[in-house]
Amino acid sequence: MTAEKTRKVNPKAEIEQHTTVVGSVPTINLDFINGSKHVMEVPAKNVREIFEEVDFHCSQIETEYEKQGKSIE
């Protein structure tokens, strides 16, 4: 999956940063175009691992759309 295709799966993607002064686990909250949500805990993950996990969820959404005869393009 390419970045262009990833953007099509979630065209309204927004990035927000919340900094805390307490010892909370770094997380990424994802809200996808199909209404699904996913929370990733990322303290020991590098950027590639994070992207691969996001890409996995985007691929699942794409497969779901294809089964319904829809297209994300």
Instruction: Report the half-sphere exposure of 58 (CA within 13 A, side-chain side).
Output: 20
Residue 14 lies in a domain: no
Q: What is the DSSP string of the chain?
A: --HHHHHHHSTT--------SS-PPPEEEEE-TTS-EEEEE-TT--HHHHHHHHHHHHHHHHHHHHHTT----
Per the structure, the count of domains in the chain is 1
Residue 56 lies in a domain: yes
- Domain holding 53, by residue range, is 26-68
pLDDT of residue 3: 61
Residue 20 lies in a domain: no
Per-residue pLDDT of the chain (73 residues; tens, 9 = 90+): 456 766 676 676 666 777 778 888 888 888 887 888 889 898 888 989 988 988 888 888 888 888 988 876 6
Contact at 8 Å (CB) between 58 and 10? yes
pLDDT of residue 72: 67
pLDDT of residue 29: 86
pLDDT of residue 1: 45
